[in-house]
Structure 1
Amino acid sequence: MFFQTPIYLVGLLSAAIPLLIHLSRSRKTRTLRFSTTRFLTDQFLRSYRMSRLKELLLLAARMALCALLAMTFAEPFLQGSVATGDPTLSRSVVIVLDDSASMHYRDSDGGTLLSRAAREAVEIIKGLKPSDSASVVLAGRRADGPLAVYPEPTTDLVGIENELLGLAELSNSAEGRPEALGTDIPGGVLLAERMLADREESSHEVYVFSDLQQRGLAAPALAGETEGSFDSRVVFVPVQPTEPVSNLGITAVQYGASRPMAGIPFSIRPHIRNDGASPRSCTISLHVRADADADDADEEGYRKVAEQVVNDPLEPGRWSVFTLHHIFHSGGWQSGYVAVEDERLTADNRRYFCFEVLDAVNVIAVNGAPSSIRRNDELFFLQAALAAGGADTNPIKVTSVRANAFQGASLDDVRLVILANVETLPEAAVGKLERFVDRGGSLLVFLGDQAVPAFYNNQLADPSRSRGSLLPARLAGSGPKGNPSAGDDQPPVAGVGDFAEDHPALSGFGSGETGRLGAVGFSAYWALDPTPNSRVVMATGGGEPLLCEHLYGQGRVALLPRAGSDWSNFPVRRPFCRSFTGWLGILRNRPEARVPRFPETTRPRVLQRGTSSAPDRRFDRRSGGQSIAGLRVVKPDRTIGVFESMADPTLRRSPSVKPTSRGLPV
């Protein structure tokens, strides 16, 4: 007899509790003899013996009840023997082998669990007579169900043994990779039962070799089968590791932007989980497709481009997210994988990906406040942020036009239009913008001192237009809040409060990986009244919206604070370059590259407003963020699908750091 959870056998000690109670209540009495009571002695002895017997039986029943309760929790089971049937009877045997990913775990001797199971199955086949029949079923979860190596039991027992031994050798070799990740034990048993249903042998036997993972036992059964249809003798043979499990695996991969661009760093974040029994350190690496003449490519044609050594041990049952970076120097489809070094179970050591890297992106920037002094020009900091990577690696080509020349500019090969502190636009130019965004283009609007609220509210944010408001928010008030003419020695009137850390343009600021927003201050800003379908991405410490976005037709529109340094120290802070390139990364996608958004199933999170009474706005993943809908990836089975992030949108308040005076970073 074996036990699934033998630790509960400690409960057998509870059987001693009734015995201790019995002994504690037993009293030894002194005997006094009286001549006048001798005639009662015989009757007294008979009654005493009967009472004593009843007490002992009750004691035994109580002790047995405690022992049975402990054994019930320990889950006892009987392991089938190799040849328990009658040797005079003919036998038909089906070996059901679990060939899922978990069975490829390497034990302390270096062999896999599947290899051990196959060799134990060979012993069963050797116990059959030449006239008996046998077959093998592989019970991994496949699209067409479990795989029968032989469609029906055969008397070629030598061939069966060779198949099992070959499977054992392949599983132990470096080329031994699982064909099926999941387990379908119920389906394998039912398939074996079908194969034995019409056999003429006297004994029908099914032997199931598996590590008995809970998910495999809960797999859906084959259609049309019922409990009463079983006629075969089914024996489960558990195959377990001989020492505590040690395994690290990649459970998911996140991406820092919805689509990478050539020449801009792209972040890939693998989720590593420790499924072992002890803390583990690891080494994570990133591999991409190598050139045909590359000398450092592996056997699959990939080369290592990034590596991270994790020295802090990952606790058992816990997972963590790590970040790797890479710059793709050319556009087109790129493939690769993320790997973690772990020799025990290689099936979950890699996650493959495949996505399109965009080449040069054409952007038109409408300059609403040009200046002969370069630093005072409205586009100065935007162009400086784009040039941070160098002219040779910058994939974004910006064409600057004046507001009065925008109407005549061609938007045929343009994916993004930037309005930088534009005062007004003609009605024809507004219609041109609406058609551009509706077809899949993107619009980025920076507000400044030249903005006229009447134009923005009555033209760009008019809900009565054919497709509704082009902007995600209306301008509240007749002018900006704060003091636009304040100097560097004046304290700011607002700082960055809550922001959506799941948004690609702001990802990493909460952890400090790409900088912090706590030192960003504003001496002036426009008060915004977001539209019902917009998303507030960033707010002030008092809860007032600073940055909003929404979808318009097939495109996207974002409304941001001024890009110059007159109103804020944001353009001269480290996070500005990262956030601006992040915005460009999510706004310059081709219309044909978009896919339908999946409906939101989780409850959207509410942007906390602190003590402000500003209207409630919700952060919605449908309008952007690390959900990365539309990013095509290659799954472990090498099929291409749409990536859906496991991360839930979170709000992160920037650290409470007093904003400093504006100035260039040292």
Structure 2
Amino acid sequence: MFFQTPIYLVGLLSAAIPLLIHLSRSRKTRTLRFSTTRFLTDQFLRSYRMSRLKELLLLAARMALCALLAMTFAEPFLQGSVATGDPTLSRSVVIVLDDSASMHYRDSDGGTLLSRAAREAVEIIKGLKASDSASVVLAGRRADGPLAVYSEPTTDLVGIENELLGLAELSNSAEGRPEALGTDLPGGVLLAERMLADREESSHEVYVFSDMQQRGLAAPVLAGETEGSFDSRVVFVPVQPTEPVSNLAITAVQYGASRPMAGIPFSIRPHIRNDGSSPRSCTISLHVRAGADAADADEEGYRKVAEQVVNDPLEPGRWTVFTLHHIFHSGGWQSGYVAVEDERLVADNRRYFCFEVLDAVNVIAVNGAPSSIRRNDELFFLQAALAAGGAETNPIKVTSVRANAFQGASLDDVRLVILANVETLPEAAVGKLERFVDRGGSLLVFLGDQAGPAFYNNQLADPSRSRGPLLPARLAGSGPKGNPAAGDDQAPVAGVGDFAEDHPALSGFGSGETGRLGAVGFNAYWALDPTPNSRVVMATSAGEPLLCEHLYGQGRVALFASSCDRDWSNFPVRPAFLPFVYRLVGYLAQSAGGQSVEAPDENSGNSTVPAAVAAGNFFRTGQAIRQAVPVGSPSQRLRVVKPDRTIGVFEAMADPTLRQVAFSETDQPGVYRFDESGTDGSSRAFAVNLEAGESDLAAIEITEDLSAAFGDALPWVGSKRLVVVDDAAALGAQAGVGRSRSELWEILMWVVLLIAVLEPALANWITSRHYLKPRSDPKTIAVPTGRIALGGDIDSVNSSREAAAAPEPDEASVTVSQ
């Protein structure tokens, strides 16, 4: 037995109310002393037991009345085995169609899986009678849940056929559907069952057409539904490729910074995964939004700025990370996408991005060896390299301070602090640096003749500090290597050896496009001992660390083993110094935290994420986006230009106490732009991408135990109502399966009414028989020694006893009710 609304079973506790009343009103007893009990005959005891039995019967009737009434409100029913098919029964059918991105995979015949599923669903609709009803549910992961094409089953079967055929034709077209969603099969099945719950047809049937992705079976949010809440037959129809899968996908993209800077190389690292069964080569390209008058822009307004051909085949089931670089020449909001060429599943070929590029950043340089002679100053070559573009166009604004003045300098608008050959800093200044970097700032340290292990190792690189070591390496030895006093006529002790060509500050040096580091020589440098979590970005020709970096809190720290002036190397007078310093400083001055376009895969339910929380303005398709409304301002209906150039609107939240508006029209991947003409924020934008799991086309393993495959995702269905049909041609056998549930609440209601009618009559009969008899009509019973009246008072009993001739027996005790 199951219950439609089991919460009402709490009412079973009301059955205890008659019992409590009975116990509280039970007749009390007291003990009387009798000299003999021979006159209490069996007939008297039998009459007493009969009255007690009738009282208990009345009590049971009252308790049953309360309990059955509670069970009636809980709507009980019996769930039996599903009947065999009978097409003559009246039928109500809901088609659940998986319209997620993976269903747009093109099979060997060029058609999509979604197109094949829609045409197979049409055959089910054609098998219905004119009096039957049907509907269609699209089970993509949308912000508002799966989409019901018809809000309830309809008898317009021709209209449903046209809807399915139109969906199949659009999916097969060259353009395809603009939507690219995740999968929400459990949500679609739950919506279909709710639509059928109150239908009067004899047969309720749900047909689910899907590629059966494992990631699409995350459990939905239930509203109290249990295994007995519905009685529909749920039939899964797998729609899978006829040949081994072949698919290349960009599953994620990492960025060198969350906010790049104009004029500084920006690194973009796409993750390419081969989800096919054989190795494949590929071509990766980077596209950015072009100007309005650009002649080389595509139909979406983007132009290709970089391309990388991967000749080494990617192994099946593996992913590889590649690096592309681009320089944004102007600030403001910039957008674009990374693409890989693949024809089978185009929905996962792109990953869009959107950034606010910084026009300028403020940098504070702490001068450890100032000089009145400009070219002898520690910062002379560094400042000259950063100012090479001119003061008006240079995005890096450097402010120089002495070491003893750093503690009082403001870091509010500063993105980077440079320590240039600084001997020491007060403890308060060290704590200030730590807090600055921990909150997202960056630190660049150049060593020199003023630096020493005492301060750097015990203060800046001390692992016992509360936040750990600030520097990515410790200084090894008591002094620098080489000859710090060597002149230009002496051969350098070290040169530049290996370096990370994928690093934004060093990109282009390997090919010579940016410059060459082979001519750089060092007369002296400090030996570095990197910390475990640091990265050696550049090394000497002998393999010793020359440039190290690591993340510290939300910021980044880089340590250069030599100086930034001419004292220890010829680097400042080499052509490579200018691009190296400019890129290194610009790289560190950007926001440190690299971001990925992939939001966390929350496949259970539909998530709503505040725009301020989703890092880097990246969201997932089908994800609702919230925007806070400042206190005191009216709720705005913000307009958004979607990727297909249609207009969407941020709507006010249902809860008026929330000062927020929400946007749920995120079914299309791409860049969404705020349409705020005439305001400062007219170019704001955010990027929406397909969730990475849709690229994994692996299906769940279906065994004879269906509960093992579907139990966690469909806990309210149960294995008795669940069927998997591999061959769509065999779906006719599922027609008119009948409803497997027998309602009991109506029967219980009639029983309750019957008891309610009989209970007063029973109570009146018991009262009249045992409690309303006149005490003046005693009943006499013949005994061997005379006559004794029962029903009178105790004195009459004593008088009868005294008149008896028999000898008096021993005294006995008997309990008499009063």
TM (norm. structure 2) is 0.51
Shift of 1:447: 1.9
In 1: Cα distance, 2:204 partner to 2:468 partner? 71
Shift of 1:252: 0.9
Shift of 1:419: 2.9
Shift of 1:291: 3.0
Shift of 1:130: 0.3
Shift of 1:170: 2.7
Q: Aligned Cα RMSD in Å?
A: 23.5
Change (3 A) 1:134 1:36: same
Which stretch shifts more, 546-555 or 607-616? Answer: 607-616
1:327 corresponds to: 327
Which stretch shifts more, 1-10 or 294-303? Answer: 1-10
User: For the Cα contact (< 8 Å) 1:385–1:581, is it kept in 2?
Assistant: no
SS in 2 for 1:375: helix
Shift of 1:128: 0.9
Shift of 1:307: 3.1
1:24-77 CA-partner distances (Å, limit 9, x unpaired): 999999999999999999999999999999999999999999999999999999
Change (3 A) 1:389 1:649: farther
Change (3 A) 1:36 1:519: farther
Shift of 1:169: 2.7
How many aligned residue pairs are there?
637
Which stretch shifts more, 17-26 or 137-146? Answer: 17-26
Change (3 A) 1:547 1:373: same
Change (3 A) 1:429 1:29: closer
Structure having greater relative contact order (Cα 8 Å, sep ≥ 6)? 2
In 2: Cα distance, 1:21 partner to 1:162 partner? 67
Change (3 A) 1:382 1:524: same
Which stretch shifts more, 175-184 or 147-156? Answer: 175-184
Change (3 A) 1:430 1:517: same
In 1: Cα distance, 2:343 partner to 2:227 partner? 40
In 2: Cα distance, 1:261 partner to 1:120 partner? 53
1:426 corresponds to: 426
Change (3 A) 1:72 1:264: farther
Structure 1 residue ranges without an equivalent (≥5): 561-565, 597-601, 619-631
In 2: Cα distance, 1:68 partner to 1:541 partner? 90
2:569 corresponds to: 568
In 2: Cα distance, 1:432 partner to 1:19 partner? 75
In 2: Cα distance, 1:460 partner to 1:313 partner? 45
Change (3 A) 1:10 1:219: closer
User: For the Cα contact (< 8 Å) 1:80–1:235, is it kept in 2?
Assistant: no
Shift of 1:244: 3.8
1:510-566 CA-partner distances (Å, limit 9, x unpaired): 999999999987653446789999998888899987666688898665543xxxxx4
Change (3 A) 1:609 1:157: closer
User: For the Cα contact (< 8 Å) 1:335–1:354, is it kept in 2?
Assistant: yes
- 1:622-641 matches, within 5 Å, as none
Shift of 1:594: 22
1:611-636 CA-partner distances (Å, limit 9, x unpaired): 99999999xxxxxxxxxxxxx99999
1:314-345 CA-partner distances (Å, limit 9, x unpaired): 34333333333222111122222112233322
Which stretch shifts more, 370-379 or 142-151? Answer: 370-379
User: For the Cα contact (< 8 Å) 2:185–2:216, is it kept in 1?
Assistant: yes
2:807 corresponds to: 655
Structure 2 residue ranges without an equivalent (≥5): 561-566, 589-601, 611-620, 659-805
1:136-184 CA-partner distances (Å, limit 9, x unpaired): 1112233443322223221111221122122223323455436453223
Change (3 A) 1:139 1:547: same
Which stretch shifts more, 357-366 or 94-103? Answer: 357-366
User: For the Cα contact (< 8 Å) 2:419–2:445, is it kept in 1?
Assistant: yes
Select the structure of larger CA radius of gyration.
Answer: 2
1:644 to 651, 657, 663: 651
SS in 2 for 1:663: strand
1:579 to 579, 583, 586: 583
In 2: Cα distance, 1:130 partner to 1:331 partner? 63
- 1:201-600 matches, within 5 Å, as 201-217=201-217, 222=222, 224-227=224-227, 231-369=231-369, 377-383=377-383, 385-386=385-386, 394-400=394-400, 413-423=413-423, 442-451=442-451, 479-486=479-486, 523-526=523-526, 558-560=558-560, 566-568=567-569, 576-577=580-581, 580-581=584-585, 584=588
User: For the Cα contact (< 8 Å) 2:288–2:334, is it kept in 1?
Assistant: yes
SS in 2 for 1:489: coil
User: For the Cα contact (< 8 Å) 1:153–1:195, is it kept in 2?
Assistant: yes
Shift of 1:18: 73
Change (3 A) 1:417 1:53: same
SS in 2 for 1:224: coil
1:280-333 CA-partner distances (Å, limit 9, x unpaired): 443333222333444544444433333334444434333333333222111122
Which stretch shifts more, 494-503 or 366-375? Answer: 494-503
1:48 corresponds to: 48
SS in 1 for 2:129: coil
Which stretch shifts more, 172-181 or 142-151? Answer: 172-181
Shift of 1:98: 0.8
User: For the Cα contact (< 8 Å) 2:471–2:558, is it kept in 1?
Assistant: yes
SS in 2 for 1:326: strand
Change (3 A) 1:650 1:37: closer
Shift of 1:380: 4.8
User: For the Cα contact (< 8 Å) 1:473–1:531, is it kept in 2?
Assistant: yes
User: For the Cα contact (< 8 Å) 2:143–2:607, is it kept in 1?
Assistant: no
Shift of 1:193: 3.0
Change (3 A) 1:47 1:484: farther
Which stretch shifts more, 482-491 or 190-199? Answer: 482-491
Which stretch shifts more, 517-526 or 257-266? Answer: 517-526
Change (3 A) 1:95 1:45: farther
In 2: Cα distance, 1:655 partner to 1:384 partner? 139
Change (3 A) 1:545 1:662: farther
User: For the Cα contact (< 8 Å) 1:90–1:132, is it kept in 2?
Assistant: yes
User: For the Cα contact (< 8 Å) 2:142–2:622, is it kept in 1?
Assistant: no
Which stretch shifts more, 47-56 or 200-209? Answer: 47-56
Shift of 1:501: 9.5
1:174-224 CA-partner distances (Å, limit 9, x unpaired): 554364532232332333233333332222222221122233246557464
Change (3 A) 1:340 1:406: same
SS in 2 for 1:378: coil
In 1: Cα distance, 2:359 partner to 2:811 partner? 38
Which stretch shifts more, 438-447 or 72-81? Answer: 72-81
User: For the Cα contact (< 8 Å) 2:135–2:153, is it kept in 1?
Assistant: yes
Change (3 A) 1:420 1:12: same
Change (3 A) 1:589 1:267: farther
